[in-house]
Chain A
Amino acid sequence: MKIRQLSVFLENRLGRLAGVTKILGDNDINIRALSVADTTGFGILRLIVDDIEKAEACLLEKEIVCRVNKVAVVAVDNHPRGLSKVLNILHASSINIEYMYAIAEPCCDSSLMVFRFTEPERATAVLKAADISTLQESDLFQE
């Protein structure tokens, strides 16, 4: 998995999400994608940002628990059955997905999906063999 993701622990308290995004905004960090996992007791905010080192540093400075980990960003055909095709390929190889979410902006004729796999190396290989591309950070942040 090639793309770095920043995960942030969110206490179940009013205004926590607003607080974190404000810190990022004040530091000129752009969020490209996000998802929030919520439970009854807490939440986990997962972010793809343009400057992850800076984002991590400014959150840690505010004593916000966060962690950088790697995910795969997969180009999925932007038409019906595009996603199901990818998922079926993964399923056929018994690859487990921990979680996934979409990157909002479409890129050409593909949509971008963020995956966290249990076995990232094998997942990438399986996708590559099926001619489905996974992106590098440089692909995501080329301006």
Chain B
Amino acid sequence: MVSDLYLKDFVDRKAMEEIQLKRLRDTLERVYQKSEFYKQAFDRIRVKPSDLKKLSDLAKFPFTQKTDLRNHYPYGLIVVPMKDIVRIHASSGTTGKPTVVAYTKQDINNWAETVCRAFATDGVTENDIIQVAYGYGLFTGGFGAHYGAEKLGAAVVPMGGGSTQKQLMLIQDFKSSVICCTPSFFIHVIEEAEKMGLDLHNTQLRKGFFGAEPWTENMRQYIEKHTNIEAYDIYGLSEITGPGVSVDCPAHAGLHIFEDHYYPEIVDPKTGEVKAPGEEGELVFTTITKEGMPLIRYRTHDITRLHYEKCDCGRTLVRMDKVNQRSDDMLIIRGVNLFPTQIESVLLSVKGTEPHYQLFVTREGALDQLEVKVEITPLVFDDEVKTLETLRTEIKLKIKQLIGLNAKITLVEPGTIERSSGKAKRVIDLRQK
């Protein structure tokens, strides 16, 4: 029964397009009838679901942005009655309010299916023991990996994030063969193991599914050198479903998108025009099976390319390049999404500070570090050390509360923060690309 799940990974382009067209039409009809938001958006540019004759007609339809989710917080974009919603997840928001996503029972099933297919793509089977070291909770990582692993029939170890020592204990004692977490966290686990004199080559770990943040080829090499793991990139975003939107395959030739659920387009980030296959641009997704909260042409702001040629691994699913670039200023630090404006809102809420700041992101060892340089103003300056230390602590605490990151706060003199053409350069990302 499970094997039927994988048929769509290998169908020819024409068959896939037929499935997509049918599901896309159905989705457009549904949102137009059930959602005031989409009805208005379609009517505004005089487009009707029936205008979709072929897949490329999707270009006529309006985009959806993260701001739309925020403006309709929390439940405004749900198109089914609340009784049909069985799960609500959320990701950190830009102004303190999170971005909400809601799932029906069928949405959860489909999500589990795509994550299950992702695991199977890389040869994970029911004989594997999968340690889920993504966080469980509002964040989609933990549950997504969990349900996919269960669907596959593997044994799930729902460890959750953090607790490096315990992760290592379970890897050894439970004989986990697969691990899922952010790549930077796993590198931290490797470093801790080394300190303890534990060689991870001597464990059963064979595969790792790493995602929720961009990572480099160097990180892959580091992981594979220090373990027997073959490292796979797993991509997703909570707005679309969570992890399992696309996955790296044994050919390591890009990430296969489960396009029978998540229909991708590449557009010019500035003009919004659809780009030809193979051209670089912003990735846009339309969910074509989602019931609870379908998204039409959702702008991910991730920059990539799409490749439609059949992959060496045999799959026909479209591939996207690994994402290492964004079209907006969002940073991903230790799996946490961060917009510079969030830091700005923290600074504005701290008495007497002005939002003259700069973010430095570095990678010390394995973990990303965030340093916030804040210009001191005569208004807050006092000749006592404790006043400034209190200010520093307050900023640090508020950032921790809002974003969940421990940032280093450095007070600097006014004018120190480099301003290019009158506009301050807010982010200095020193992590190796």
Contact = CB atoms under 8 A, between A and B. Distances in A.
B225 to A, nearest CB: 35
Contact of B381 (A7, A12, A63, A99): A7
A13 B389 CA distance: 18
B25 interface: no
Interface string A27-56: 000000000010101101010000000000
A67 B410 contact: no
Contact of B383 (A13, A42, A63, A116): A116
A70 B235 CA distance: 60
Interface string A50-85: 000000000010011111010000000000000000
Contact of A41 (B378, B410, B414, B416): B410
Interface string A113-137: 0001000000000000000000000
Contacts of A39: 385, 388-389
B416 A37 contact: no
B162 to A, nearest CB: 27
Contacts of B314: none
B413 to A, nearest CB: 5
Contacts of B382: 7, 67
A67 B385 contact: no
Nearest to B415: A63
Contact of A5 (B381, B383, B412): B383
Nearest to A37: B385
A13 B413 CA distance: 10
A67 B411 contact: no
A116 B415 CA distance: 30
B305 to A, nearest CB: 42
A7 B383 contact: yes
Contact of A63 (B385, B409, B411, B413): B413
A124 to B, nearest CB: 18
A65 B413 contact: yes
Interface in B49-95: none
Interface string A89-109: 000000000110000000000
Given A65-B376, A66-B378, A67-B378, A42 B411 contact: yes
A12 B382 CA distance: 16
Q: Contact size class for A?
A: 20 to 34
Given A9-B381, A66-B381, A67-B382, A41 B413 contact: no
B377 interface: yes
B206 interface: no
Interface of A is mostly: strand
A119 to B, nearest CB: 14
Interface of B is mostly: loop
Q: Which of A7, A13, A65 has the most CB of B within 10 A?
A: A65
A9 B376 contact: yes
Interface residues of B, number: 19
A11 B412 CA distance: 5
Contacts of A5: 383
B39 interface: no
A11 B376 CA distance: 9
A44 B411 CA distance: 12
Contacts of B414: 63, 65
A41 B384 contact: no
Contacts of A116: 383-384
Interface in A1-26: 5, 7, 9-13, 16
B367 to A, nearest CB: 20
Contacts of B326: none
Contacts of B34: none
Contacts of A13: 412
B30 interface: no
A42 B408 CA distance: 13
Contacts of B413: 9-11, 16, 63-65
Interface of B: 376-378, 381-385, 388-389, 392, 409-416
Closest 8 CB pairs of A and B: A7-B383, A11-B413, A63-B415, A65-B381, A11-B412, A63-B414, A42-B411, A37-B385
Given A9-B381, A42-B411, 12 more contacts: A7-B382, A9-B376, A10-B413, A11-B413, A37-B385, A39-B388, A39-B389, A42-B410, A64-B413, A65-B378, A66-B381, A116-B383
19 contacts: A5-B383, A7-B382, A9-B376, A11-B411, A11-B412, A12-B410, A13-B412, A37-B385, A41-B409, A41-B411, A46-B383, A63-B413, A64-B413, A65-B378, A65-B381, A67-B382, A98-B384, A116-B383, A116-B384
Interface of A: 5, 7, 9-13, 16, 37, 39, 41-42, 44, 46, 60, 63-67, 69, 98-99, 116
